[in-house]
Amino acid sequence: MSVDVRPANDDDVDAVVDLFRQYLRFYEQYVPDAEARAYLLARRDAGDSVLLVAVLSPEGDEPEGSAAGHELVGFAQSYPTWSSVSLSRSWVLNDLFVSPAARGTGAARALVQETCRRAKDAGAIRVSLATAWDNVAAQGLYESEGFVRDQHFHHYAYVTGA
């Protein structure tokens, strides 16, 4: 099997929504289909995010959407932003998920690599991300792709309750 990574298109919506809901459940967030769909499409269509999908296909066959023999197995969603300290563009790789059955295929690595390539092509000087303290598999992937654990800053969040 080979992995192809490309921007999500309208034919991918149902599969991406399913993967997105699995991703949210991993983080103990339960969202109805309609809300997940509306969120993903709003971010993508407004240009707020870059939504990529990973498609598995038989070796030597080029994936084309959701054609027979091609399985959409993962997604990554990044948010282009700015860094005031560096006076430059920056991307946040906010969401990355590969279906449990497709783990070990290289889909997650391909999504990370394509995200970084696209960020660089867009003029971003860095891609940042956060992952759970106990998500050792993801940490190993990110570190093997050149991500470095932040040693200079503590990251905080304020929950507004909105």
**Token pair recorded at residue 87:** 């006076």
Confidence (pLDDT) at 63:
47
Question: Rounded to whole angstroms, how far apart are CA atoms 123 and 88?
Answer: 8
- Separation CA 24–CA 19 (nearest Å): 9
Residues 95/127, Cβ–Cβ less than 8 Å:
no
Model pLDDT, residue 62? 52
Sites in the chain below the pLDDT cut of 50: 63-66
Q: What integer pLDDT is reported at residue 69 of this predicted model?
A: 63
Please report the pLDDT score of residue 59 as a whole number.
74
The pLDDT of residue 115 is: 98
Q: Which residues are CB-contacts of 81 (< 8 A; sequence separation ≥ 6)?
A: 89, 90, 91, 92
Question: Tens digit of pLDDT for each residue in 126-158?
Answer: 999 999 899 999 999 999 999 999 998 888 889
Output the pLDDT for position 90: 97
pLDDT of residue 157: 87
What's the confidence (pLDDT) of residue 61? Answer: 52
